[in-house]
Structure 1
Amino acid sequence: MRVHVHERHDRVVRLVREHGSMTIARVAATLNVSMVTVRRDAGLLVSEGRLGRVHGSLVWPGTGRPGRALAPVGAPVREGTVVGMIVPTMHYSFSEIVQGARTVLAARGVRLVLGLTGYLAEEDGRQIERLVASGVNGLLVTPSWERGEPGAGEAEAVLAAAVPTVLVERWTSPGSAAHGLDRVRSDSAHGAGSAVRHLAALGHGRFALALQSSPHAAQLRAGFEAALSTLGLPAAHAPGFDAGALASESERYARTLEFLRRGVREHGVTAAFVHSDADAVVLVPRLQALGVRVPEDLALVVYDDEVSGLSELALTAVAPPKRAVGAVAARLLLDRLAAGPEDRGGGADGPGGTGGARRHVELLPELRVRDSCGGSATPI
């Protein structure tokens, strides 16, 4: 039976916790998966701080061989350090992002305090003020920016923060005052491009794009269109559809379903990139009921991997590295907090206008090949 990747990660962690340490080969044999899969899992789990690695073995964090402690990862932080984290919701990818940050912070003895904004733009400033007033030493912030980057005046609340701040899963244009903030995000444009390249390698030349309205939509469209251009495929072969502004979920499904059906029947579309995977789980059986077979008539790749592997027809998915985003953002902030006062800063440039060297980190999503694209499935 196919095991969901997050479930497998939890099993790896439990095995190492129970045994103290395990070789990659032993983990692979115990779980009946390939060494390549375990090495890939190990890299992610180590990057998130959930496990350590010593001489080809996975170990419980904070230990090398039994009885021998490892030095903490990263520069030391002051005892009693508290980090505030502000996200719009704990749904979608955010529970994983928060968990990634929490794991890294806990391993360094840092307390995490959470604030939720419910995608209400006015709540960004209120939550920032509340957490700073409560005494947090730094902030990890995902503002409620509808397009993923700030519109006019939307960055002011983040820029006003009087403590070091890292943007999480948000970005800014070079002309924005917020462009000087540290930030970590998944490169969703790269993910969309990898989907197009994979489908093109399978022989497809006419594509459709169906998007929800989300902070990732513009980047997904840009990556999709850039990949088509690089492959020399004309834009006319790639009708696009943004269903996000529709009044209801049922209307979004109906419009997207008709868009894809007509793409296949009237425009010769043979492949589609759909955001999100949850939408695709609803759409696939409806398409098949209309006589559009997946993947025979329409090969699908979806963005996000929340439920893709649980669909009756397992969906090929572009999976953003959610826990790694949270983990890297937490490490970046801890590095800032551990630096000298002249390098800590606040807002984009810090009180002194320098704030040390800022970093923009982009993590690449992973393409997880399953059944819906008609290609060979990747073992998971």
Structure 2
Amino acid sequence: MRESAAGRHDRLLALVRERGTVRVADLATLLGVSPVTARRDVEALAAKGLLDRVHGQVSWPERHAAVSEGLVLGLLAPSATYYFAEVIRGAHEAAARAGARLILRISDYRPEEDRARTEGLLAAGAEGVLVAPGWRGPEDRPAYGNWLAELPVPAVLLERRADPGSPLDALDRVVSDHGHGVLLALRHLLGLGHGTPLLVARGDSPTALAVRAGYAEALVTLGLEAPGPVIDSVPADQDPAGFERAVRALHEAVVSGRASAALVHNDVDAIEIVQRLAELGVKVPEDLALIAYDDEVAALADTPLTAVAPPKRQVGRHATELLVERLTEDPAEEAARRHLSLLPRLRVRSSCGAPSGGRPA
């Protein structure tokens, strides 16, 4: 498999950190790339302040050696699997690049335990924290969130938005723009000639709620009316009866002609819904064009599912880089707080009747 630019950058940084100073020509040999590629990589990393470049050589920045070396970062995530596995991987990569150590705590979507677990990170030596609270609904933000604004160390919110004007709204945060992802999906289905797609979505996580809100906004943006109410989805293994109700509602919309396309959150639900619909005589994509949301396992379905792919790994990377910047900046020149939104991509496969191949749209 061809190495990504990000992976190559990680190797390059590790080499410079280990050796202190390296000629760019030698880096090309060590990395097994062309001199042009090595120079381009060095320029990109130097522009981000990750390397110092002088007269054909690169050096590990003195500020990293003096400040970032031994830096300990904490990360609180609601899960270490499915969606957040990639977020954690991105954070770990960025921490390694900065010469920092990342320590992890998992909340298992129990927001009432977030504060204690974050205090555990501080007790373990974390000098700054990345926090993705285990909120399940909007009521959890005020009930289990304002303590974050009172932390004695810099904090960056991960994949979570704060209520406007709340104490948390003044924190740095890095999120996926799920509204943009939903709009990409609807535009793609409309472009294939379908009427307004239905939304089948969970309601038990911030991502699910953001997808629902994005759907309502996309309908307004596109000047459309929904062909029916949002169909409430639930995990088949936790609530078989609720799952069957969701499948039957979608089945009825298709056979009645009300809808020929749907966006389903999330991948696992989408795969199981496709399987159950087939048992009821509705096939994807022949009878129903379907797009999944998350793109964790969508490509592994019998009919590979077109899916919206939030930039999970990049969220972890950018948030970690922002936290390191907070910890290493001159207190007298503190930069403005930032709310960074990263755009999802649409990966087109077979489930909406478009050509397969997995290329980003």
Q: Whole-Å Cα distance in 2 between the matches of residues 197 and 73 of structure 1?
A: 48
Q: Whole-Å Cα distance in 1 between the matches of residues 299 and 36 of structure 2?
A: 25
Instruction: Please state how far the C-alpha of 1:71 moved relative to its aligned partner.
Output: 4.8
Aligned to 1:285: 275
- TM-score of the superposed pair, with normalisation by structure 2: 0.82
Instruction: Please state how far the C-alpha of 1:193 moved relative to its aligned partner.
Output: 1.0
Change (3 A) 1:164 1:379: same
Task: Note if 1:242 corresponds to 2:232.
Answer: yes
- Are the counterparts in 1 of residues 110 and 135 from structure 2 also a CA contact under 8 Å? no
3-state SS of 1:22 partner: coil
Task: Note if 1:53 corresponds to 2:41.
Answer: yes
1:137-167 Cα distance to aligned partner (Å, 9 max, x none): 1000011111368533322231221100000
Q: Whole-Å Cα distance in 1 between the matches of residues 242 and 52 of structure 2?
A: 51
Where structure 1 has 5 or more consecutive residues not aligned to the other structure, the ranges are 1-6, 27-51, 345-355
Aligned to 1:374: 353
Aligned to 1:303: 293
- TM-score of the superposed pair, with normalisation by structure 1: 0.78
Match of 1:312 among 295, 302, 321: 302
1:191-223 Cα distance to aligned partner (Å, 9 max, x none): 011100110111111321111222112221122
- Are the counterparts in 2 of residues 74 and 335 from structure 1 also a CA contact under 8 Å? no
Instruction: Give identity over the alignment, percent.
Output: 42
3-state SS of 2:277 partner: helix
3-state SS of 1:69 partner: strand
Mapping 1:164-179, distance limit 5 Å: 164-179=154-169
Match of 1:225 among 209, 216, 219: 216
Q: Whole-Å Cα distance in 1 between the matches of residues 284 and 42 of structure 2?
A: 44
Aligned to 1:208: 198
Instruction: Please state how far the C-alpha of 1:134 moved relative to its aligned partner.
Output: 2.9
- Are the counterparts in 1 of residues 52 and 61 from structure 2 also a CA contact under 8 Å? no
Aligned to 2:103: 113
Kindly provide the amino acid, as one letter, of the partner of residue 238 in structure 2.
S
Change (3 A) 1:9 1:300: farther
Match of 1:326 among 293, 316, 322: 316
3-state SS of 2:75 partner: strand
Comparing 358-367 with 67-76, greater Cα deviation is found at: 67-76
Instruction: Please state how far the C-alpha of 1:316 moved relative to its aligned partner.
Output: 0.2
Change (3 A) 1:63 1:282: farther
1:84-126 Cα distance to aligned partner (Å, 9 max, x none): 1111110121111111011111111101111111111221110
Q: Whole-Å Cα distance in 2 between the matches of residues 246 and 315 of structure 1?
A: 19
Mapping 1:1-380, distance limit 5 Å: 13=7, 20-22=31-33, 53-54=41-42, 68-69=57-58, 71-72=60-61, 77-147=67-137, 150-213=140-203, 214-235=205-226, 237-244=227-234, 248-342=238-332, 356-380=335-359
Change (3 A) 1:376 1:246: closer
Q: Whole-Å Cα distance in 2 between the matches of residues 73 and 215 of structure 1?
A: 40
Change (3 A) 1:371 1:111: same
1:340-361 Cα distance to aligned partner (Å, 9 max, x none): 23566xxxxxxxxxxx410000
- Are the counterparts in 1 of residues 184 and 346 from structure 2 also a CA contact under 8 Å? yes
Instruction: Please state how far the C-alpha of 1:224 moved relative to its aligned partner.
Output: 1.6
- Are the counterparts in 1 of residues 64 and 98 from structure 2 also a CA contact under 8 Å? no
Q: Whole-Å Cα distance in 2 between the matches of residues 341 and 294 of structure 1?
A: 57
Where structure 2 has 5 or more consecutive residues not aligned to the other structure, the ranges are 12-28, 45-49
Instruction: Please state how far the C-alpha of 1:21 moved relative to its aligned partner.
Output: 3.8
Instruction: Please state how far the C-alpha of 1:293 moved relative to its aligned partner.
Output: 1.6
3-state SS of 1:216 partner: helix
- Are the counterparts in 2 of residues 199 and 271 from structure 1 also a CA contact under 8 Å? yes
3-state SS of 2:341 partner: strand
Kindly provide the amino acid, as one letter, of the partner of residue 276 in structure 2.
R
3-state SS of 1:269 partner: coil
